[in-house]
Structure 1
Amino acid sequence: MHIADFRPPPGLANRHIQTLLPRCLPRPAFLGRTEILTLPDGDFVELAWASEPPDDTAPVFVLFHGLEGSVHSPYARHLLHAAARRGWRAVLMHFRGCGALPNRLPRAYHSGDTADAHWLLTRLARRYPRALRVAVGVSLGANMLIKLVAEEGGDGLDLTGVIAIGAPLDLAASADALRHGVARLYERHLLASLKRKVARRLARGELPLALTPGALGKLDSLRAYDDAITAPLHGFADAEDYYRRASAGPLLGDLELPTLLIHADDDPFMPPALFARLPAPAFPVHVEVAHHGGHVGFVEWRQGRLASWLARRVGQQLDDWQSTTAAIRAALDPDEASW
């Protein structure tokens, strides 16, 4: 485990300030396009393409957002921009129902739902077979991505590397952490968004749930929501079964791809000393822990203004993987040095 080089600005180290501060930063505009990707079960996900270089060998950056996130989330804009400005083909996959359109089937998405991401990554490998590809997950998307990498092994995903930011690797412990103190405000915000979507679909009779509007309104925690909605919609016995089967933490020792894990010790969405309760990561995993940063915050002071350290750190990692890959290709075949 390594200490991240993140340093918060003086007076802005508090974990809640760091968590909320990205919302105050100017964020890059999204000027790309949306693609509807049809899934094998007839449903779809929306892809937000932030940049599409004409060269089909341009490296590919795939981003998976957090719970109720989207291309409009501050971290998404900054990370996509960091990749695009380096000439990468940058895309965000919205989980089902998180884009502009409601999804078709009587289900949603969850922290262990790896099939859609796998489908996207295999499609991109076929579209751009000669391009370096990197996948990045944030929060829920990070847990999902780690689980996917563990399930598929080193040969199952044609990726150069993976980055996981603020991953709730112990879902039950994270649900408990959100029940205490100021963290309850985050839980209420997320819960309100989730319940609004479910209320609309229940009113249209689209969900096979024995849940009245009144009962939905009384769900007062993410654990209660997962017990009443996430679990039955997605084949889990209850919330505990979901947390146990979907948590990626127990799989850290199974990772076979180069993986960067970025975590803040003061993340209000996580229990203290998260990695002490998990198995030791496998050899290809590089864990960077910052003393501060909040939940997917990591706002630093750079060049006379507040800026995203996450975007800078992820950009550095993209540069490292791209240069290393180019050097290996050149050594193996000088004619491929320009890939």
Structure 2
Amino acid sequence: MTRIVPADFRPAKGLSNRHVQTLLPRLRPLTALERDTEILNLPDGDFVELAWARPAPLQNDAPVFVLFHGLEGGFDSPYARDIMASASALGWRTVMMHFRGCGRAPNRLPRAYHSGDTADAYWFIAHLARRYPRAIKVAAGVSLGGNMLLKLVAEQGGDGLDLAGAIAISAPLDLAACADALNHGFSRHYQRYLLKSLKLKVIAKMATEPLPIGLSSYQLGRLDSFWAYDNEVTAPLHGFSSASDYYRRASAGRLLGDIELPTLILHAADDPFMPGDLFERLPRPSDAVRVEIASHGGHVGFIESHRGRLRSWLAQRVCHQLQDWSSVPRHLQVMTNRPS
């Protein structure tokens, strides 16, 4: 039985263009959601910032939904507000783990985060297992966070994490191919925007402490592609020999056949951050994985029309999956990894 199927997403009329879908969430009003902030200290002396949606369930065994954001994203990303608010309304205890340096304060160590950096997420999920031992837990990752999450669940096997399932949204599963895609046409605008945010953080750190990157602020500012930035900054900061080495070791696509945990992957064939034949480049997913590919949707867009108003299809699809997994015994979940 094939595990790669069409998604049931239909874009709002006149809004099917991939760049319109990608940008539209930022043009809509941000979903209102209150949060409590918690600092989780890590074993190496650094920390990550947690954002807990309010109000939180009173029961300690309420199901827990964990969200990992995308590159330079966070609690104020439109997709985060939409998905977290919807999960919270279902009665789930909902939390986002900000990657290092993506919260309200810079992280402590001379390093950042990257697409294959699974250690912090592993530590956080283990922390949740100790805090809420009787609660069902599901994790979702968006873009970079989706690649990271898939790599983590592949590494840990079916029983290595206290998770009932994982959801990856618009994940760049072949990092080298995605870096190439972002270096062409209109997609360069997304690349330029993201690189500007990344470089500003590095420049701020360079002003306060030495970094092992061998670049001046001027040289850093001239890096104009992800290939260049990851070769000169990401790789040396995180122990890779080059951008190619980083992309090869951090890409989760090569591990799709190893995943044992029930997993849902949501993807748009027209995602401007990815090559159009992304899944043709990758090994066949395991039977635990369901891939839903929409013809349209852009990058983390998926905006549909419902009763005359625009809304996030992603939030609806994630909530349907949460309901599925929360109602089925874990040993049967691999068989019910499908839409409601």
Q: TM-score, normalised by structure 2?
A: 0.95
Match of 1:149 among 145, 150, 153: 153
Check conservation: 1:259, 1:284, Cα contact below 8 A.
yes
CA-CA distance at 1:327 after TM superposition: 11
Tell me the CA shift for residue 31 of structure 1. Answer: 1.0
Matched, 1:302 2:306: yes
| Equivalent residues of 2:164, 2:330 under 8 A apart | no
Equivalent position of 2:257 in the other structure: 253
Q: CA deviation at 1:217?
A: 1.1
Give the AA of the match of 1:43. Answer: D
The reply to whether residue 19 of structure 1 matches residue 22 of structure 2 is yes
Query: What are the superposed Cα offsets for residues 124-172 of structure 1, whole Å, 9 maximum, x if unpaired?
Result: 0111111000000000000000000000001101110000000100000
CA distance in structure 1 between the partners assigned to 2:299 and 2:330 by the alignment: 34
Could you tell me the TM-score, scaled by structure 1's length?
0.95
Q: How far apart in 2 are the matches of 1:56 and 1:27?
A: 29
Q: Distance in 1 between matches of 2:202 and 2:186?
A: 25
What stretches of structure 2 of length at least 5 have no aligned partner? 334-340
Identity percentage of aligned residues: 66
Check the 8 A contact 2:65/2:93 in 1, yes or no: yes
* Residues 156 and 185 of structure 1: CA distance in aligned 2, closer, same or farther (over 3 Å): same
Q: Residue 27 and residue 325 in structure 1: after superposition, are their counterparts in 2 closer, same or farther (change >3 A)?
A: farther
CA contact (8 A) 2:110 2:209 kept: no
> In 2 relative to 1, CA 206–80 (structure 1 residues): closer, same or farther, beyond 3 Å?
farther
Counterpart in 1 of 2:247? 243
Which of 47, 57, 60 lines up with 1:56 in the alignment?
Answer: 60
Cα 1:327/1:239, change in 2 over 3 Å: closer
1:1-339 aligned at under 5 Å gives the runs 1-51=4-54, 52-325=56-329
Deviations along 1:257-282, one digit per CA (max 9) or x if unpaired, are: 00000000000000111100000000
For 1:13, give the aligned amino acid: S
Mapped contact 1:264–1:293 kept (Cα < 8 A):
yes
Q: What's the offset of the Cα at 1:326?
A: 9.3
Q: C-alpha distance in 1, partners of 2:169/2:330?
A: 25
Question: 1:229-270 deviations in whole A, cap 9, x for unaligned?
Answer: 000000000100000000000000000000000000000000
What is the distance in 2 between the residues matched to 1:143 and 1:327?
A: 25
Task: Tell me the matched-pair count.
Answer: 329
Paired AA for residue 218 in structure 2: G
Letter in 2 for 1:296: V
Q: Runs in 1 of length 4+ with deviation above 4 angstroms? A: 326-329
Give unmatched runs, 5+ long, in structure 1: 330-339
The letter of the residue matching 1:160 is A
For 1:328 and 1:181, how far apart are their aligned partners in 2? 45
Task: Specify the code of the residue in structure 2 equivalent to 1:99.
Answer: G
Instruction: Name the counterpart of 2:337.
Output: none
**What secondary structure is seen at the aligned counterpart in 2 of 1:235?**
coil
